[in-house]
Structure 1
């Protein structure tokens, strides 16, 4: 089973004297939703969440592999992606295809994450003082492509998302992941795309 890793950098450690340049309150809110879903007492890092259904300490390799092996198998969506760069500050991606899974009346959101690899950051303060931190699969932007309900697995779905880009954006370091999630942030299939060199 292919595994797509997405790293959401939280911002609740900023008080320790070093602000993670990729941290976001949006990702803190997302983790809080998992804390509630798993009936946890508190948030912690590093935490790994597998399909929104299981979690473990990020440095517990045995638990992580166990969760991945036990994870439900969902068909990957069959989207075709068209990338455009209408301006230097923006990238648009249009998706067309099927979810390959039936969606009931509860509905799901189709989400698109823009992530970046090869990030290196000096850490002058805080718990990691003096270290150089290397990070991959860092989610830089997350947008909702669409919400769907009451559709068959073969029904065509389409939509476009726009991502504002940052000064150091380079397509060779970035990728796009499309995933289907319900209101509890459980994941029901995903698809990964490399960004074309011309973008």
Structure 2
């Protein structure tokens, strides 16, 4: 699949061409640099919850996730106990998956612990490759890379969970570490990270 040109004359990948929520996310947020701990913890958490589901499902539930997880404040989530996990498992407005909920709590604790060695943002961005893909079609976009595999392994060693190499590749795309916008997309190169 190549770019779909919308009524506004702008080319987008098919996943972002029709649903207004996905189109707005693509046009304004996806692939833009996120370099702060709070923003990266939220994106890391949402990518983990997305595993096995559609991104549209997660975006629609994002306000509920923010409410349920105290705005993805790592300090607050790190303090969650079994009662909080039980509360989240009964919250129908989010994805009620025990492993993903427990991973988010563990990841908050690991995020707080990383502050002693530079923090989550420096840690994740240290895996930025020297080159980014240059896809013509969606089929040209990889689903993982040597860097996403290395990031996955390093995060697991640091106590993070539910951070496989495919999920980490999606995170790297979402936060601007990679630019996998299709060549010809109006968003290609707009992050300021890649030309």
- Please, what TM-score do these two structures have when normalized by structure 1? 0.30
User: Higher strand proportion, which one?
Assistant: 1
Q: Which has the higher contact order (CA 8 A, sep 6+)?
A: 2
Larger radius of gyration: 1
User: Higher helix proportion, which one?
Assistant: 2
- Please, what TM-score do these two structures have when normalized by structure 2? 0.30
